[in-house]
Amino acid sequence: MIEPTESPTQRHATAVVEAPPDGSAPVRSDTQLAYRLHQQDLLAELGVVALKQNDLTKLLDRAAELAADGLGAELCKILQYLPDENSLLVCAGVGWNPGVVGSARIVADLASPSGFAFKTGTPVISNHLDQEERFRTPELLASHGVRRAINVILQGDGAPFGVLEVDSRSAGEFTSHDLTFLQGAANILGMAIERRRYVDHQLVLLKEINHRVKNSLQMVASMLSLQASTMRDSPAGQSLQDAISRISAVARVHERLYRSASVGSVDLSAYLGDLCRDMKALASTCDIRYVSDAEVSMVTDRAVHVGLLATELISNAIKHAYPGDKGGVVDVRLVRTADASVTLTIRDHGTGLPNGFTTKASGGLGMKIVRALLGQCRATLEIVAHSPGTAFVVELPLTEASPA
């Protein structure tokens, strides 16, 4: 039978403590009670911050403030273990001179209180650093006039993150109750760090997947391109070109996803810019000019729909407005019209539409796809005849449809 083991995150405080100099019993008083109740409040607050705060630096800074407050101390630091250097970096803290947080380091060996706590997982209380025989006092503590220190390990379920250390310049003693408070704070913090590591790992995996999907789609498009090159000028070759453009449009969105910080949305403006460049490379005779006046963050699925819409309308302009090798300019413009919508215009200066043209009556696959995509995006299409040329104006609401 497997014995239940204690999770490293639920550490209990059994410390390496020096003996009290006079062996006196701890004082119990209302002040003591108020002190402990204050510590409880601080732990509760840290729990809330740990759940709410996604920014790790801000979380560590706040945790350092709360830990120092809880022990009535002037200084607190969070030390992050750097395996390559075998050192503990002061990555957050309160009360330190400028230049300490973010750069000062302590060797992670058994000779310093923090190193000992890190290497052994045992909390360390040093109430008389000047008389300390077990450890050398790190220069950082000496230069800040620290007289006593308390150290606990910071650990989630995985490898330990580092050490939480509270330092005081005043005389007095850290007690085993203080240790219980600090270990509680470290446990909460350790769990929060662990959760962040997990989320970061998931993000890396998602980006990796997007990278692969994009590569796979590009490979399919390349193979189809080879095939299309043997069918030049035939209707089947042209259909294959259309299919390649559609696949490339989907591939591009995955490329945007692994390049951007967000995994659920893309910048529509930049994405359409990518598409225009791709289509220009495919259609050597046409100049595709893209103008956009705004960054528009859009949920990925929706952005793909808009990307495919643009692909159909741009490829029609290349193919039908400028038949043969005539070539010409296609203007693509994305403008934010009101707070909650954008207008995407694809304008050519070519032949104009056939008489009696409607998207419904045109009979082509492209227009069928356009109509379906307009419905999915809840967008409207206005077709404006110019002389010469045609403008397709898509009005796109930015707000998500409310669930039916």
Ligand X SMILES: Nc1ncnc2c1ncn2[C@@H]1O[C@H](COP(=O)(O)OP(=O)(O)O)[C@@H](O)[C@H]1O
Rounded CA separation 228/240 (Å): 6
**Which CB, 317 or 373, lies closer to ligand X?**
317
Q: Which of residues 125-154 bind ligand X (CB under 6 A)?
A: none
Q: Is 366 in the site for ligand X (CB under 6 A)?
A: yes
Q: Is 245 in the site for Mg ion (CB under 5 A)?
A: no
Rounded CA separation 167/140 (Å): 11
Note if the bond before 83 is cis, omega within 30 degrees.
no
Residue 307: contacted member of ligand X, Mg ion, none (CB under 5 to 8 Å, by partner type): none
Binding-site string for ligand X from residue 335 to residue 354, where x marks contact by CB under 6 A and - marks none: -------------x-xx-xx
Q: Are 95 and 76 in contact (CB under 8 A)?
A: yes
Angle CA(108)–CA(111)–CA(116) in degrees, nearest 5? 60
Q: How many residues bind ligand X (CB under 6 A)?
A: 16
Closest by CA to 162, choosing from 104, 108, 100, 96, is 108
Q: Is 282 in the site for ligand X (CB under 6 A)?
A: no
Angle CA(83)–CA(84)–CA(89) in degrees, nearest 5? 65
Q: Which of residues 107-126 bind ligand X (CB under 6 A)?
A: none
Angle CA(264)–CA(266)–CA(270) in degrees, nearest 5? 170
Pairing of strands 75-82, 390-397: unpaired
| Interface residue with ligand X, options 316, 344, 373, 379 (CB under 6 A) | 316
**Which CB, 264 or 364, lies closer to ligand X?**
364
Q: In what order do the strands lie in the sheet with 105-107?
A: 16-17, 124-126, 148-154, 162-168, 75-82, 87-94, 105-107
**Which CB, 297 or 351, lies closer to ligand X?**
351
User: Stretches 129-137, 161-169, 177-185, 316-324: which one binds Mg ion (CB under 5 A)?
Assistant: 316-324
Q: Is 311 in the site for Mg ion (CB under 5 A)?
A: no
Taking the complex as a whole, the smallest distance from the CB of residue 310 to ligand X amounts, in Å, to 13
| Interface residue with ligand X, options 36, 169, 195, 320 (CB under 6 A) | 320
Q: Is 190 in the site for Mg ion (CB under 5 A)?
A: no
User: Stretches 52-60, 204-212, 283-291, 313-321: which one binds Mg ion (CB under 5 A)?
Assistant: 313-321
How far, CA to CA in Å, does 370 sit from each of 30, 246, 380, 394?
A: 75, 12, 11, 10
Rounded CA separation 404/100 (Å): 56
Rounded CA separation 147/132 (Å): 10
| Interface residue with ligand X, options 90, 193, 321, 374 (CB under 6 A) | 321
**Which CB, 82 or 353, lies closer to ligand X?**
353
| Interface residue with ligand X, options 39, 112, 248, 390 (CB under 6 A) | 390
Residue 168: contacted member of ligand X, Mg ion, none (CB under 5 to 8 Å, by partner type): none
CA atoms within 13 A on the CB side of 268: 29
**Which CB, 152 or 346, lies closer to ligand X?**
346
**Which CB, 316 or 345, lies closer to Mg ion?**
316
Q: Is 366 in the site for Mg ion (CB under 5 A)?
A: yes
CA atoms within 13 A on the CB side of 132: 23
Taking the complex as a whole, the smallest distance from the CB of residue 53 to Mg ion amounts, in Å, to 50
**Which CB, 125 or 317, lies closer to ligand X?**
317
**Which CB, 76 or 306, lies closer to ligand X?**
306
| Interface residue with ligand X, options 89, 240, 367, 373 (CB under 6 A) | 367
Residue 354: contacted member of Mg ion, ligand X, none (CB under 5 to 8 Å, by partner type): ligand X
Q: Is 245 in the site for ligand X (CB under 6 A)?
A: no
Residue 138: contacted member of ligand X, Mg ion, none (CB under 5 to 8 Å, by partner type): none
Structure tokens at 292: 């956009």
Q: Is 317 in the site for ligand X (CB under 6 A)?
A: yes
User: Stretches 27-35, 192-200, 336-344, 364-372: which one binds ligand X (CB under 6 A)?
Assistant: 364-372
Q: Is 316 in the site for Mg ion (CB under 5 A)?
A: yes
* Binding residues vs ligand X (CB under 6 A): 316-317, 319-321, 348, 350-351, 353-354, 362, 364-367, 390
Q: Which residues bind Mg ion (CB under 5 A)?
A: 316, 366
